[in-house]
Structure 1
Amino acid sequence: MSVNYLFLLDFLLLYGGSRRSLSEISPLEAILFDVDGTLCDSDPIHFDVFQEMLLELGFNGGVPITEEFYVENIAGKHNDEMCSILFPNWDHERAQKFAEEKEARFRKSAPERLVPVNGLHKVRKWIEDRGLKRGAVTNAPRPNAELMISHLGLSDFFRTVVIGNECERAKPFPDPYLKGLQDLKASPSHTLVFEDSASGIKAGVAAGLPVIGITTRNPPHTLLEAGATFLIKDYDDPKLWKALEELETRASNAEAGA
C-alpha cells in the first residue's frame, strides 16, 4: 500500500462521513466530476432504455416504470446493485447480460441526445485558466463514460477517468474518489466534487470531500440528506460562482498574510 494511500485512509478517520465546508479546502487544487447527470443530462436516455427493456420482460406486470421508480431504484447505482434490486432471483450471468444490453442500447441512443449541463464549458474554462487538476469519477461502464466525455469535447480535459466497477467497491463507497485523488496526486484537503446523485454524494462525503450537488433530476432533499455541502441548479448558478470567488479571495488573503 502506497504512502499516499495511507495518508488518504488517515484523512478519512478524521473527516470521512461528515459534511464539509468549501472554506476548508482553500486553496483549491483539484476538482472531481461525476459524469451521468453532472456533465450531461443523460438520465432521460437511461430511463427510456430501462422502461423499454423492462416492458419487454413483462416487469411490473407489463406496467411501465415511472420516473419516481427510476430515481428511487436505479439512478446513480452501478449495474450489479441495480440488477440485485430489480431481479433479486436472477443469477449473475443473466443479470450481466441484461446490463450489457442496456448499456449497448444507451450508447446507441446517446449521441443524438446528449447535451452538456448549462454552464459546463464556462466552469471548464475557469478550471483550465487556473491550472487545477481534474478528473471524472463515475459508476458508468468505461465505454459509456468515454463516449459521453468524448461527445462533450472533454477527452483532453480530464487527467483521469475512474470507473466504479474497476475499483474494489463502487459508489456509494469512497473507493472511486480515493482513486481519483491518488491518480491526480491531489490532496483531499484541497479538492471538491460535483455530483448529482445521492449515491455519488455519499461516496464523496465518505472520502472526506465537500460535494456540490447538482439538481439535474434527483430530488434536492435526497442530495442534502446524502451530505451535499450545498446545491446548485447548474454551472451557471450564481451560488456556485459566489462560492468559487470566496475560495479565491480566501486563498489570496492567506498568501498575502504568509
Structure 2
Amino acid sequence: MLAELHPGPARALLFDWDGTLVDSQDANFRAMGAALAPHGLGLDQDWFDARTGLSSADMIQALAAETGARLTAPVEDLVAARDRHFLANADRIRVHPQVAEVAMAYHGTLPLAVASGGARRIIETTMRHLSLEWLFTALVTRDEVDRGKPAPDIFLRAAEALRTAPADCLVYEDSDEGIEAARTAGMAVIDVRPVTRPRG
C-alpha cells in the first residue's frame, strides 16, 4: 500500500466512487456529451473535468446556468439518457488499483463505505461488473440525500450507516467538491489525485 494512502488512526473509511475507486472519467464525459448533444448543448472536457464532484443533475443545471442555455428537456430525462449511454459502455470502466488496494487491505478490519454523488443504480451495476460489491458495508449515493457534494450530507449519511462518528472517518476523494464536503462533515480526507492522476 502506498504510504500516502495509509489510513492512519481512522476507524472507518469512506470512498468516493468515480475518479477515486474507479477510472470512469472518459466514460462519464462521453455519456454526458452524448446525452446533451441532441439538445444543442456542447460539453467542454476541461469544464467537465473541473466539476467531477457534482451529480449529473447538478452538472447539467450548472452548465445551463453558466451558458445561458435553455434546456429543451427535463433534467431528469437528460440524466436518464446519460445513464443509458454510461451503462452501454460500462466495460470501459477500470479500477484504480492503488485505491482499491486500501479497501481490500482493510476489508474485515474497518467498516468501509462508498459515498458518491453518482446514482445508486449506476454504481451498483458498475460494482457488480468489477466484482467489488463484497468489499463495502454501505453504499450512500446522491439518491439518498437532499444535497449533493460539496454539501456534507452524503458523507454524514455514510458515517451514520457505519455507526461511526464523523471525526473518526477518513474520506478518499478526487474532487474539490468532495474534499470540501468531507471537511465540512468534520472528517479527515486524502486527495487521491496525486496517485491516480500523477502529473508529468
Distance 1:121 1:35 in 2: 10
Q: Which consecutive unaligned segments of at least 5 residues does structure 2 have?
A: none
2:41 paired residue among 47, 52, 59 = 59
Distance 1:26 1:155 in 2: 24
Contact 1:38–1:194 (8 Å) recurs in 2: yes
Amino acid at match of 2:58: E
Distance 1:155 1:210 in 2: 24
Shift of 1:122: 2.5
Residue 47, structure 1, aligned to residue 29, structure 2: yes
Contact 2:11–2:111 (8 Å) recurs in 1: yes
Contact 2:22–2:93 (8 Å) recurs in 1: yes
Amino acid at match of 1:142: R
Amino acid at match of 1:59: L
Residue 86, structure 1, aligned to residue 63, structure 2: yes
* Distance 1:198-1:48 versus aligned 2 partners, 3 A rule: same
1:233 alignment partner in structure 2: 195
Identity of matched residues, %: 27
1:77 paired residue among 35, 48, 54 = 54
Distance 1:37 1:197 in 2: 8
Contact 2:116–2:141 (8 Å) recurs in 1: yes
Residue 132, structure 1, aligned to residue 110, structure 2: yes
Name whichever structure is richer in helix by fraction: 1
Amino acid at match of 1:71: D
2:164 alignment partner in structure 1: 186
1:174 alignment partner in structure 2: 152
Q: Deviations over 1:75-104 (max 9, x none)?
A: 22113321212234338x611111111111
Amino acid at match of 2:111: K
2:87 paired residue among 84, 107, 112 = 107
Paired residues, number: 189
Contact 1:38–1:117 (8 Å) recurs in 2: yes
Contact 2:115–2:158 (8 Å) recurs in 1: yes
Shift of 1:121: 4.0
Shift of 1:146: 0.6
Q: Whose Rg is larger?
A: 1
Contact 2:12–2:112 (8 Å) recurs in 1: yes
Distance 1:149 1:205 in 2: 26
Distance 2:88 2:156 in 1: 31
Contact 1:30–1:192 (8 Å) recurs in 2: yes
- RMSD of Structure 2 on Structure 1 (CA): 2.4
